Amino acid sequence: MAAAAVYFVPDLGKLQQRMSSREQAALPAITSPSQLDDALRQRPSDRILRMVAAAAKAANDTRGAIDRLSAQIEPSGLSKEINFGSVSRGDLDAFRRDLKAAEANATAFLPRYNAIFKAEHDQVESAALSLHVPAEIASRGLDGLTQRQAKTLNAISLTLSARADYYRTYDKYIAFLSSELGSFKIVDGQFIFPLPRTVERYNAAAQAMTSAAKRVNDLETNLKKQNQPLPEEWIQLTGVR
């Protein structure tokens, strides 16, 4: 009997793989969180559906952690609007210190984003093991997760670099105005300088800052477009596409 049990182990493994394939092909079409919830209510023991749900939660946790980290880049002082009609040079110096701190953070924060993605990967991998997801399916999902994270991390890297450049150009803009403090007036929201050459220098500094701000906005918009309500790498494994 012992010999017979050992003999049938390989066939049992193949049978389990075939059952997993049939289970995957039979999964309902899922393209939104609400459809996932409906599918889970109908099939609460389905391992793949539960894995998709676990991966979706991990992805959502990651988005929240990224938002919180991104909010830490800028010191709170940068959120204050500057009244150039009454601002002092000391106020501008303090604002410039905050800009330099923001630039330093934007330059140094990439490893912290990477750590967030590693935590997500570890969380999803642990869920796949605990749910006993077939290895061939789990590996495909985790490979897809790795690829998605690499793409997103690259986009974050570009955005952080653009933000650092923006803070540098913003600092130059403030430095210029600080050096001209007392020589200009503000009329209807416009800076009025006594010399044409000063106007040219101001326009150059303002244009550089505006261009840098636009690049940040464009990159952040593209980054947001990469966010999906459900993790694509796992949705593909439900047989929908």
Report pLDDT digits (tens) over 138-159: 999 999 999 999 999 999 999 9
How many angstroms separate the CA atoms of 110 and 96, rounded? 23
Given a contact cutoff of 8 angstroms between Cβ atoms, the answer to whether 202 and 176 are in contact is yes
Most confidently modeled range among 43-47, 177-181, 187-191:
177-181
183-210: per-residue pLDDT in tens? 999 998 899 999 999 999 999 999 999 9
- Provide mean pLDDT across the span 77-87: 92
Q: Which amino acid is at 233?
A: E
pLDDT at 82 exceeding the cut of 50: yes
Q: What is the pLDDT of residue 28?
A: 58
Q: What is the mean pLDDT of residues 170-178?
A: 97
Global pTM? 0.83
Percent of the chain with pLDDT over 70: 86
User: What is the reported pLDDT for 15?
Assistant: 31
Q: What local confidence, expressed as pLDDT, does residue 106 receive? A: 98
Band (pLDDT 50/70/90 cuts) for residue 238 is low
Average pLDDT of the chain is 87
Does 7 have pLDDT greater than 60?
A: no
Q: Where are the alpha helices (DSSP H) in the chain?
A: 2-25, 33-42, 47-71, 89-108, 110-130, 135-179, 196-225, 232-235
Mean pLDDT computed over 109-127 = 97
